[in-house]
Amino acid sequence: MKTKPNIIIICLDLGRPDYLGCYLSDRLVPSSAERSAEAGGFIRNTSPNIDRVAQNGVVFESVTATAPWTIPSHASMFTGLYPHQHQANWHTFRIKPGIKTIFDLLTEQGYQSVAVTANTLLVSPYNMFGDRTKILNSVCRKHPEVSVFVDEFDERKTNAPAVANTFLGFLESFENDRPLLAYLNFYDLHSKYSAPEPFFSEFVSPAGRQQLKNIGDLYNLHFKEMNHQVTITPDLITVLRDFYCAKLKMIDHYLGEIFNTLQEKKLWDNTLLVITSDHGDILGDHQRPSFHHQFSIYNAVLNIPLICHYPDFITKPKHINAPLIQNIDIFPTILEICGLPTDHLLPGAPGKSLVNYFHQNITASPRPFAIAQTNSPEIFLKRIGKQVESSYVKNLYAIQNEKYKLIFSDSPLAPAGSELSRPDFLELYNLESDKTEQHNIAEQHPDLVKLLKNMFFNLTQSETESPDAPADSINFNEQATAQLKKRLKILGYLE
């Protein structure tokens, strides 16, 4: 490795690993429109270009996000910290001031930093990329800074071409005189957005097309289900999974154009590609909601892909089966690959470099427990004048070891005596025999429940935020509040 590598982080926002072909590479099965429990996901050609990268890289088979939605999960990816440490959540919408991100540290090391993001919560109300990162997609200078992607998105259109073409335009004039750090966010997997031909018809049948037309408002489908206004049938679940596959294939197509351009410009060998996601989606694996993500903390939402490709550094492609890897490990891994001291630059951070997995036959986990959490948006929604439904009132927590996973929740604002106010509102799953978390065994194992719950609080004891009075809660004026409500609605977080 003669020079510092270029680094491109590609986020398949809402991307699940079990819908990518490279996560099924050891299962040689014919193409099928059906979901295979044995294979663990769709056995269809959804990601040929990503698979090509994975064949010559390192694929981490079991990676867990620290949170089920955009802001806290990205903050963990960018800082190597857990949500209770970086404190980016529904109250703050930003990383705690004073904490440095990957963009801060690498620009200090001479990197040129750019971003193209279709998920505009990352740039507004607060810019998570920092002042030294150039946002390549045009920004409308209103209050607060809002990408024009927000107002120009249309449910009849797609944004993957815009993200890819914007970055390709940048690469055309990239002189490679300084190492590059680039972040790309593809948002089309969310239900609001469509997929053009030929991708749509490759996965969605004519009958499925008609079902989608009959629904019309896919954007609010999960809210309607939670409010008992619609019933999600098995046939509809199949169609929506097909639709998800079509959009994944479309994103993969445009990623292929980026990969080809990197090769043509001779940037391929000295570029570290990190392909991942911030969270997945329920996609029919659970109910109410059967689709969406921020209202649950099951592994259908928390499990994310992580693929690393760097020809000048990764000499032996492999799949890593080590459990309990988390997205907090991405930042220190990148730092070590760049030859930077992780202990000095990230003192006390729980994220662990995964570089040893690249070159050694390691199957051990980097930690004994993986944790995830998200606070309830209830206080925030009330502050902006949004009526709060019962689905919003939960703070969600999860802790898992190699065999068991505990989920528990609470709400400081839940009515006294309600189910959510009970301290024993929890779920326990045996992940060895119940990977999709369908059979709650908490009542049979009270001692294990107590042990895991205490361990979660031990691991997060540094948390200082009060749910009732967040130390650094966001405070918008009337104009900013209206813009944020519009943005959250466009992105699918509000009705």
- The pLDDT of residue 156 is 46
* pLDDT above 90: percentage of residues in the chain: 58
* pLDDT exceeds cutoff 80 at 384: no
DSSP code string of 401-469: -SSEEEEEEE-TTSPTTSGGG-TT-EEEEETTT-TT-----GGG-HHHHHHHHHHHHHHTTT----SSS
- The pLDDT of residue 286 is 85
Which contiguous run of DSSP H or E holds residue 56? none
Which contiguous run of DSSP H or E holds residue 186? strand 180-186
pLDDT tens across 260-302, in order? 999 999 999 999 999 999 999 988 898 767 777 877 899 999 9
pLDDT tens across 2-29, in order? 589 999 999 999 999 999 999 964 433 3
* pLDDT exceeds cutoff 90 at 482: no
Residues whose CB falls within 8 Å of the CB of residue 454, separated by 6 or more in sequence, listed in order: none
Return the minimum-mean-pLDDT range out of 118-132, 185-199, 410-424.
410-424
User: What are 361's two structure tokens?
Assistant: 């036959």
Q: What value does the mean pLDDT of the chain take?
A: 83
Cis peptide before 289 (omega within 30 of 0): yes
Contact 490, 152 (CB under 8 A): no
- The pLDDT of residue 223 is 72
- The pLDDT of residue 25 is 43
Of these ranges, 62-66, 88-92, 121-125, 465-469, the one predicted with the greatest mean pLDDT is 62-66
Give the strand order in the sheet containing 133-135.
133-135, 112-117, 180-186, 6-12, 271-276, 306-309, 58-60, 318-320
- The pLDDT of residue 463 is 42
User: Between 463 and 207, whose confidence is greater?
Assistant: 207
User: Between 144 and 215, whose confidence is greater?
Assistant: 215
Contact 66, 328 (CB under 8 A): yes
pTM recorded for the entire structure: 0.88
- The pLDDT of residue 118 is 86
Strand partners, 115: 135, 183
Contact 271, 6 (CB under 8 A): yes
